[in-house]
Amino acid sequence: MRDCTKFYIDGQWVDPVEANTVEVENPATEETIGHISFGTKADVDKAVVAARRAFETFSQTSKEERLTLLRAIQAEIENRKEDLALAVSDEMGAPMSLANGPHVGLLAGHCQKAIEVLEAFDFERQDGPTLHVWEPIGVVGMITPWNWPLNQIACKVFPALATGCTMVLKPSEIAPFDAYIFAEIMDAAGVPAGVFNLINGDGPGVGEAISGHPDIDMVSFTGSTRAGIAIAQNAAPTVKRVAQELGGKSPNIVLDDSVFTQSVMKGTTAMMGNSGQTCTAPSRMLVPHARMEEAKAAAKEAAEGVIPGDPKGNATIGPVVSKAQWDKIQGLIEKGIEEGATLVAGGPGKPDGLETGHYVKPTVFADVDNDMTIAREEIFGPVLCILGYDDYDDAIRIANDTPYGLASAITGEDIELARGLAKRIRAGRVAINGGYDLNAAFGGYKQSGNGREWGEWGFHDFLEVKAVMGHG
């Protein structure tokens, strides 16, 4: 049983101002596995005072000092990677192979990338008589989700540290234990008091206090579009910078070629990873109308090869994160059937033999119209929608017919064709044949957010630009 009821404020583990202990559930067993405290505005105020005080000195540190700090954090991550993986698996149901692999791997990868970027980053540039200086924005409030918890912490904390900012982090109350370990890593690495602060809690109790706080200069949020709108509205009166990575309904255009079957199978398997709880998941697969039956057969085979089950066993996917999430997914599966989509694999209810735990059948719908609810709303579960297109112009029209624009994919043999189509998709990312890069800008168009994370792109949101005229 994990006891994570203290907060990390000003370099110390402290009790909350008001005691409010909350249970944390393992979604695979539905058992309580630990406790955290829910904070209040008073706790946020304490953390912001510490972060504001620390900013006065940390903002003036040299690049070399911050590189030394990041390398110390990197070493501590290596020391705690097994603890981190177990926490992620326990709190959100990720199979251990996924927790040990991508979940912890992304944390370590973003730390290494921040080191590499900082080594080469130039914070000053002389432009004729004017010196342009990039300076840290100040105190940053960070609100992170439960689906890729370590990744999202890394995307915010490391570039903020590298640029000289201080911060207050509120991780998801559903998956909080990995963040607690991360705070222990920061402490062990010698992060100066007040530079990094951790407060657990929910949106109304802590999130709103962070987003509206007059002494917080920026809010960096990852989560749903609905919550992002509320955060932006709450932040508006203090005119702070708001960077957001929000929802997605990403298209995957499968080209009409000789590797069509393999492309469909790969796209189906990719959709099911992390139990479908990925904002960039290729949830709308676009295939030629003439090859819809082939797509159904290939997707069914791939989906049936995805095995849900015990995260500590050999399962391909674990449960979804909570009963509330399970209920939402079930409602959308029922809606897909009601609206006339063809159920190819999976469907309502739990997989056979998995009555305990929030497990969802790997589900595929075909003959989906882009006006259907399951094609419009982010399901955030292992549910794939297959839509037909007439030609590539039609595929682009369907791909862009969404309020979202976070990510997209193009899969097939003709790379030149894929490159041309990529230019026409309105999304922050296009992955051709599964392309992946930790240097690639991460962020969305339209209702998928604003700002960019990852690599050098992740530094810029945490910086202000000062022009010193008459300097040259």
**What does 356-393 look like in DSSP terms, one character per residue?**
SS-----EEEES--TTSHHHHS---SSEEEEEEESSHH
Q: Give strand pairing partners of 34.
A: 2, 24
Which candidate in 4, 111, 165, 279 is catalytic?
279
Q: Which residue is it, tokens 């097939």?
A: 412
| DSSP assignment letter at 308 | B
Q: What mean pLDDT is predicted for residues 115-136?
A: 98
Which candidate in 25, 76, 91, 245 is catalytic?
245
196 pLDDT above the threshold of 90: yes
- State pLDDT tens for residues 243-252: 999 999 999 9
Q: What mean pLDDT is predicted for residues 246-264?
A: 98
**Residue 458, Cα to own-chain centre: how many angstroms?**
14
Q: Which residue is it, tokens 């006891």?
A: 3
> Does residue 245 carry a catalytic annotation?
yes
Look at residues 441, 454, 416, 98 and name the one whose alpha carbon lies nearest to residue 276: 98
Going by pLDDT thresholds of 50, 70 and 90, the confidence category of residue 128 is very high
| DSSP assignment letter at 442 | B
Q: What is the pLDDT of residue 201?
A: 98
Task: Spell 361-378 as b/e; 16+ CB within 10 A means b.
Answer: bbbbbbbbebebebbebb
Q: Give strand pairing partners of 22.
A: 36
Q: What mean pLDDT is predicted for residues 112-123?
A: 98
Q: What mean pLDDT is predicted for residues 78-99?
A: 98
Going by pLDDT thresholds of 50, 70 and 90, the confidence category of residue 199 is very high
Indicate the SS3 state at residue 411. strand
Q: What mean pLDDT is predicted for residues 25-40?
A: 98
Distances (CA, A) of 310 to 28, 100, 319, 427: 7, 15, 8, 35
Distances (CA, A) of 303 to 176, 271, 346, 376: 31, 9, 8, 22
The dihedrals phi and psi of 22, each to the nearest 5 degrees, come to -130, 140
Q: What is the pLDDT of residue 168?
A: 99
- Please say whether the beta carbons of 128 and 134 come within 8 A: no
Residue 231 contacts by C-beta under 8 Å, 6 or more apart in sequence?
143, 207, 211, 219, 221, 242, 244
Q: What is the pLDDT of residue 108?
A: 98
Q: What is the pLDDT of residue 228?
A: 96
- State pLDDT tens for residues 268-309: 999 999 999 999 999 999 999 999 999 999 999 999 999 999
Burial of 188 (0-12, 13-18, 19+ CB in 10 A): middle
The dihedrals phi and psi of 63, each to the nearest 5 degrees, come to -55, -40
Task: Take residue 36 and report the two structure tokens written for it.
Answer: 């955290």
- Please say whether the beta carbons of 35 and 5 come within 8 A: yes
- State pLDDT tens for residues 404-441: 999 999 999 999 999 999 999 999 999 999 999 999 99
- How do strand 463-469 and strand 342-345 relate by DSSP bridges? unpaired
Going by pLDDT thresholds of 50, 70 and 90, the confidence category of residue 166 is very high
472 pLDDT above the threshold of 90: no
**What does 15-43 look like in DSSP terms, one character per residue?**
--SS--EEEEEETTTTEEEEEEE---HHH
Q: What is the pLDDT of residue 152?
A: 98
> Does residue 124 carry a catalytic annotation?
no
- pLDDT exceeding 90 applies to what percent of the chain? 100
As a whole number, the mean pLDDT across the chain is: 98
Q: What mean pLDDT is predicted for residues 153-161?
A: 98
Q: What is the pLDDT of residue 450?
A: 95
- State pLDDT tens for residues 298-356: 999 999 999 999 999 999 999 999 999 999 999 999 999 999 999 999 999 999 999 99
Angle at the Cα of 189 (from 188 to 190), degrees rounded to 5?
90
Q: What is the pLDDT of residue 421?
A: 98
For the entire predicted model, the pTM comes to 0.97
Look at residues 374, 377, 358, 271 and name the one whose alpha carbon lies nearest to residue 318: 358
- State pLDDT tens for residues 222-233: 999 999 999 999
